[in-house]
């Protein structure tokens, strides 16, 4: 039986997952909203595994458009191995995961291809960056004349204090 990871471990994974989503949205990529119907979802999917095992952690994958996914499923269902949708889907997934990897590494994350044989075309985020994001508000952007930036107002990560 799989054991659940401790609350602190899961909280850290959730923090990293949120930061991954933020960085990828800042780069202009669509991120699949939690709970969105699979028929409508396309873009980056970030998930947190709550279990305490080697596969546990933060995973990132790409979902092509529902139309391309439908074509791929049709080809697979009818054993049409020469269908161009199959080859195209593989190229799309490889290209998007390479782009996602480059973006996350540039932002300070530690990323690798998934070791999970049941999750091909998936990345594992092993660690997140410290410090504020590159796209966060700068001190000079939040400073108000006659007031220091640390005395209320927006913080460097864009949140209100």
* Alpha-carbon span 161 to 154, nearest angstrom: 6
Among residues 93, 96, 110, the alpha carbon closest in space to that of 19 is found at 110
DSSP 8-state class, residue 160: B
Angle between helices 7-26 and 84-106 (to 10 degrees): 100
DSSP 8-state class, residue 46: E
- pLDDT tens, residue order, the chain (161 aa): 678 888 898 899 999 999 999 999 999 999 998 888 888 889 999 999 888 776 668 999 999 999 999 999 999 999 999 999 999 999 999 999 999 999 999 999 999 999 888 889 999 999 999 889 999 888 888 876 666 555 554 455 555 44
Q: Which residues contact 93 (CB under 8 A, 6 or more apart)?
A: 62, 64, 121
In the numeric block, which tokens belong to residue 51?
A: 């279990």
- Bridge-partner residues for 58, per DSSP? 48, 125
The ranges assigned to domains in the chain are 7-17+29-129, 131-161
At residue 49's C-alpha, the angle toward residues 46 and 55, to 5°, is 105
Instruction: For residue 30, give Cα distances in angstroms to 23, 42, 118, 155.
Output: 11, 7, 24, 25
Structural contact between residues 124 and 114, judged by C-beta atoms closer than 8 angstroms: yes
* Alpha-carbon span 156 to 161, nearest angstrom: 10
* Global pTM value: 0.82
For 94-145, where are the E strands, in sequence order? Answer: 110-113, 122-127
């Amino acid at each position: 039986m799989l054991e659940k990871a401790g609350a602190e471990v899961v909280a850290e994974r959730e923090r990293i997952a949120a930061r991954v989503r933020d960085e990828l949205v800042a780069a202009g990529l669509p991120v699949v909203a939690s709970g969105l119907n699979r028929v409508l979802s396309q873009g980056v999917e970030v998930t947190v595994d709550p279990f305490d095992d080697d596969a546990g952690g933060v995973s990132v994958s790409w979902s092509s458009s529902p139309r391309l996914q439908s074509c791929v499923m049709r080809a697979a269902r009818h054993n049409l191995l020469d269908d161009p949708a199959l080859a195209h889907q593989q190229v799309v997934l490889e290209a998007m995961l390479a782009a996602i990897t480059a973006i996350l590494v540039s932002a300070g994350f530690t990323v690798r291809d998934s070791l999970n044989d049941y999750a091909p075309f998936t990345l594992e985020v092993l660690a997140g960056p410290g410090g504020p994001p590159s796209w966060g508000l700068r001190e000079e952007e939040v400073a108000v004349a006659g007031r220091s930036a640390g005395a209320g107002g927006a913080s460097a990560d864009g949140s209100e204090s």
